Amino acid sequence: MNLLQWVRSILFSTQATIMLPVIGLLYAPWAMVSKRGAYAGCRAYARWVIWTAKWMINLRCEVRGTVPTIEALVAAKHQSFLDILMIYNALPASKFIMKSQLRYAPFLGQYVTKMQFVFVDRGKRGAAITKMLADVKAGLRDPGQLVIYPQGTRSAPGTKMPYKVGTAVLYEQLGQPCYPVATNAGVFWPRRGLYRRPGVAVVEFLEPIASGLGRNEFVAELEKRIETASDALLEETGVAHQYSNN
């Protein structure tokens, strides 16, 4: 870590924090009356962060693979706030499953509520999934790509965490293809701390898993694809040895 990159990281993080309410207020009149406005506001913020990261901290964001445009389940590796922004910006009509505490976050909570994202209480995931499926069947949610983090939380690069059954339940009951997504974003934008490493952060949309597999077979295939691809992306960074003890 060098001093100049530390200074750049602090400046970048400060402006990104400030711009959240600024963009939130700018888009608020449109977002209050239209779901399209809420989506546009969130996309504007994601693009702002991605753009400023490129020239402020020399961090370029790259999306690989075929991004789904059809109704599909998207099961993504989650390492960083950055991978959320990159996936959201890449998908044409995303709907995220997210922890219920974010419902009360300033600006963000109001926006994602307007967009009908799915909030999950810790320990009550089954009830949330049941409600979400009922809403989908009742036509209360617009078609799009439903994004879930199968490990349930952020994990550091190189860390192995169990894949939870909720993703398999959604896959089974929705009857849609599932697009696994790998990432190395946590190398450059870690879960904690202000330092941002320069380089190329990648989210990679992998070949979809067709509908019809059994739960256990699906989970095993999903984990194999995501972990293999994420490990390969970690190797690309040239600092994989720093995470070998995770």
Say what the pTM is: 0.91
pLDDT at 124: 61
Query: Burial letters for 191-202: b for 16+ Cβ neighbours within 10 Å, e otherwise?
Result: eeeebbbebebb
Return d(Cα 99, Cα 165) in angstroms, integer. Answer: 16
Q: Tell me the domains of the chain and their CATH numbers.
A: 59-243 (3.40.1130.10)
Rounded CA-CA distance 238/39 in Å is 36
Over the chain (246 residues), the average pLDDT of each successive run of 10 is 91 95 92 89 96 97 96 95 96 85 69 76 65 62 85 89 89 93 96 93 97 94 97 92 71
